[in-house]
Amino acid sequence: MLVIKAMMESNLRPDVNVALLFCADEETGSGFGADYVVEKRPDIFGKNDMFFVPDSGTPDGSMIEIAEKSILWMKITTLGKQCHASRPNLGINSFKAASDYVTRLQSLYKKFPKRDKLYEPPISTFEPTKKEPNVSNVNTIPGDDVFYLDSRVLPDYKLSEFKKELRKIAQGVEKKYRVRISFEPVQEAQAAPPTSPDAPIVRALSKAIKEIHNVKPQVQGIGGGTVAAFFRRLNLPAVVYSKLNETAHQAN
């Protein structure tokens, strides 16, 4: 907004029209933001439109993001049988079974081993993250357990293929512990087509980076998700760019 304000006040008029699109809900899938707009009103975008998304970046301002991995956030629920902790033979410890399942999920890295130097990191990632509370007291064996898996998958793989492997691994845990494991996608998006490194907006941004920051620009793909993916699905070129300290979800 400040850039556009400065352009207006200095009577600078670029060779292209500039519009601002304010997107809600970006951090949790854009179901009420860019995703909704692209699905319901694709007619408001023209075939010559280009998109600049001020999101991902690097400290020196050299990185131009042109591609993103597929994303799957999966809620995984393990159902056992609650009982008193002094009588474990009367129950089925869902937490113990889920913990075994978490460790088995490490095998996903071997099952989906492809590498692509365009992306940082250059591999698919499968990481357990959020853990919901199970029981409130120490002397109870939990009958149900819930955790979440955040997966960022290279475009080489279909998410349907990945979900089949999740179920296959779960079957071994279910048989061993006599539990039931269920899955509920919280966010799911197959990777959008990448923006061409030769797209006019990429060339223009590269030129500006060289002139303003005096660094060599480089195109890159990321595991994070941005609203650029929705415009790329319309086959419209989008770049993601800014100067950031790369401290997302870390102490700053």
Q: Do domains 2-68+193-240 and 70-189 have the same CATH topology?
A: no
Q: pLDDT tens digit string along 147-196?
A: 999 999 999 999 999 999 999 999 999 999 999 999 999 999 999 999 99
Q: With bands split at pLDDT 50, 70 and 90, how would you rate the model's confidence at 249?
A: confident
pLDDT for residue 248: 83
Rg (CA), the chain: 23
- Pull the structure tokens for residue 173: 């845990």
Burial (CB count within 10 angstroms: exposed 0-12, middle 13-18, buried 19+), residue 204: middle
Cross-strand pairs, 120 = 222
Name the CATH topology of 2-68+193-240: Aminopeptidase (3.40.630)
Q: pLDDT tens digit string along 91-148?
A: 999 999 999 999 999 999 999 999 999 999 999 999 999 999 999 999 999 999 999 9
The CATH architecture of the domain made up of 70-189 is 2-Layer Sandwich (3.30)
Q: pLDDT tens digit string along 2-29?
A: 989 999 999 999 888 999 999 888 888 8
Domain boundary assignment for the chain: 2-68+193-240, 70-189
Task: Report CA-CA distances (Å) from 153 to 13, 68, 111, 222.
Answer: 41, 9, 12, 10
Mean pLDDT of 205-220: 97
Per-residue pLDDT for 252 more than 80?
no
By residue count, the chain amounts to: 252
Amino acid letter, residue 102: V
